Amino acid sequence: MTDQTRPLSDSELPTFDRPVEIIENPYANANRNYTTQTHLFNEAIINKYNRSGPRYTSYPTALEFVPIADGMEARVLAEKDPRVPVSLYFHIPFCRHLCYYCGCNKIITKKNSDSGDYLEYLFSEIRHKRSLMQGDPIVEQVHFGGGTPTFLTDDELVKLWNFLQTQFTFSDKPTADYSIEIDPRELRPTTLEILRGLGFNRVSFGVQDLQEKVQIAVNRVQSEEMIQGVMTEARRLGFHSINIDLIYGLPHQTVDSMRNTVERIIDISPDRLSVFNYAHLPERFKGQRQINEADLPSPADKLTMLGNTIHALTDAGYQYIGIDHFAKPDDELAIAQREGKLHRNFQGYTTHGNCDLLGFGVSSISQIGLHILQNPTDLNDYQNLINAGKLPAVKVISARLPDLLRRYVIMNLLCHDYIDFKDVNARFSIDPMTYFIDEIRQLGEMQADKLVDMDAKGIRVLPKGRLLGRNVAMVFDTYLASKEGNRFSKVI
């Protein structure tokens, strides 16, 4: 019997309470030069460890969802600690155009009435959930995702935002984060101005690639002039942070064309960048069947694209945050990482990991205390539950006490490249070197390859291992061994 599977003694059980605030944060490292940490790009090492694994937006991961029991969502909402602030997520599942690379659960439509009807379902869900919650938790973060949230008309965006103000109290602190994903092709002349006037302070939009041939192949054609215009207008209006998404590995991309795209994006100068690996899985995602596999770059070229992109961004001063994400050093995300305050959840890397996450709409996910709940991924199923006056969650993960310990370890490794044994002992009343003896042994090969360093103080991911942080995290995942590798994306 391994340490991972044996029963825990009373002295080894992690504490149930939320982690206490520690004055001296062991994960703060303001002197670390994060902008040079990824220059040790080693193709042989990446190929050696490049296996499929979760992205760890939660632990346990979404593969551990089970059907929810009747009445459980109501109990979770009623027992939510009102002192814990909240992050609100709204899933808008509509798009006017199908991007062939995308694996999202979207509804392709051109009927504005569909989005108007959808708003009424959102309002019903919001009212129902809010009626069960105690007190008046403060909203510190809001994100509109999708799909294409700007599929909603300007009037509908205003209507939704104003309704939220009747249900929740919003923080007016400078650190409050109110963001929305946009499609530059779907913006009306006044949309950005209206969003900024409502209080949105961060915007994200997908570029993916600037080459027209690539854009045509993935059915997302948008000129560089359009993208530059959106950036200029967002900056004029005072959005605090602007994110751009890129994808490497798309059809017709070459090493040179990707290098050119990255150089032009650096000139546009977004505050944050997400650089994703395209995973071609046409058997799972219908849209990808429109892509000719023969047009895709080779795995070797993809790896070269990644290496060139990392070098270009870090040379330009961007800080590598982790798992595909980069930010300028003065961006809140980069500052939070250096101060040891970065978190990771279903919204990705975030500065508001102290919040309970409340998700609304089809396929949305909530994370409240020990529980992760998901709404139906089918719009008709979602609407039928709302029409029946029921709460919409259909799946749940309820973390066990040992899960909280492993979640803490995994998230600190992915956010701060470090796990401090003294800190873990103080928070969870265990001896980490004894409890994780099997995991420490498994990391021996990575230590020999200088990806990690381990001693009596803790485990640190070294610069050479930062791109493979997910591999380090996987060692601590007790659920992973029973999962099929092809259900995950590859690390690179």
Average pLDDT, the chain: 89
Beta strands in 262-406 (DSSP E): 272-277, 319-322, 325-327, 343-345, 348-350, 356-360, 365-368, 371-374, 395-398
Topology annotation, domain 67-398: TIM Barrel (3.20.20)
Averaged pLDDT for residues 57-65: 94
Give the Cα separation of 47 and 33 in Å (integer).
26
pTM of the model: 0.90
pLDDT digits (tens, 9 = 90+) for 394-444: 999 999 989 999 999 999 999 999 999 999 999 999 999 999 999 999 999
Task: Report the pLDDT value the prediction gives residue 4, as an integer from 0 to 100.
Answer: 38
3-state SS, residue 492? coil
Ordered DSSP codes for 55-88: --SSSS-GGG-EEPPTTHHHHHHHTS-TTS-EEE
Kindly list the distances between the CA atom of residue 94 and the CA atoms of 229, 272, 348, 361, 366, in Å, as whole numbers in the listed order. 24, 25, 21, 12, 20
Residue 220 annotated in ligand binding = yes
pLDDT digits (tens, 9 = 90+) for 110-139: 554 467 799 999 999 999 999 999 999 999
Pairing of strands 66-67, 86-92: unpaired
Residue 104 annotated in ligand binding = no
Give me 408's structure tokens: 């803490």
Task: Report the pLDDT value the prediction gives residue 10, as an integer from 0 to 100.
Answer: 42
Ordered DSSP codes for 198-250: HT--EEEEEEE---HHHHHHTT----HHHHHHHHHHHHHHT-SEEEEEEEES-
Residue 470: in which H helix or E strand, if any? helix 469-474
Give the Cα separation of 230 and 31 in Å (integer).
35
Averaged pLDDT for residues 252-261: 97
Give the Cα separation of 345 and 481 in Å (integer).
22
Is the per-residue pLDDT at 476 higher than 60?
Answer: yes
Residue 365 annotated in ligand binding = yes
Averaged pLDDT for residues 217-238: 95
Give me 310's structure tokens: 């990392």
Give the Cα separation of 211 and 217 in Å (integer).
10
Residue 103 annotated in ligand binding = yes
pLDDT digits (tens, 9 = 90+) for 439-470: 999 999 999 999 999 999 999 999 889 999 99
Q: Per-domain residue ranges for the chain?
A: 43-55+400-476, 67-398
Residue 156 annotated in ligand binding = no
Q: At 491, phi and psi to the nearest 5? A: -60, -45
Which residue's entry shows tokens 């493979």?
Answer: 468
Residue 208 annotated in ligand binding = yes
Task: Report the pLDDT value the prediction gives residue 202, as an integer from 0 to 100.
Answer: 97
pLDDT digits (tens, 9 = 90+) for 83-99: 999 999 999 999 888 88
Averaged pLDDT for residues 237-249: 96
| CATH architecture entry for 43-55+400-476 | Orthogonal Bundle (1.10)
133: left (phi over 0), alpha (psi -120 to 50) or beta: beta
Contact 38, 432 (CB under 8 A): no
In the chain, DSSP finds a helix count (H) and a strand count (E) of: 17, 23
Give the Cα separation of 261 and 350 in Å (integer).
27
Is the per-residue pLDDT at 186 higher than 90?
Answer: no
* Cβ density class 164-174: b for 16+ within 10 Å, e for less: beeebebbeee
Residue 147 annotated in ligand binding = yes
Q: Is the dihedral of CA 462, 464, 467, 468 positive or negative?
A: negative
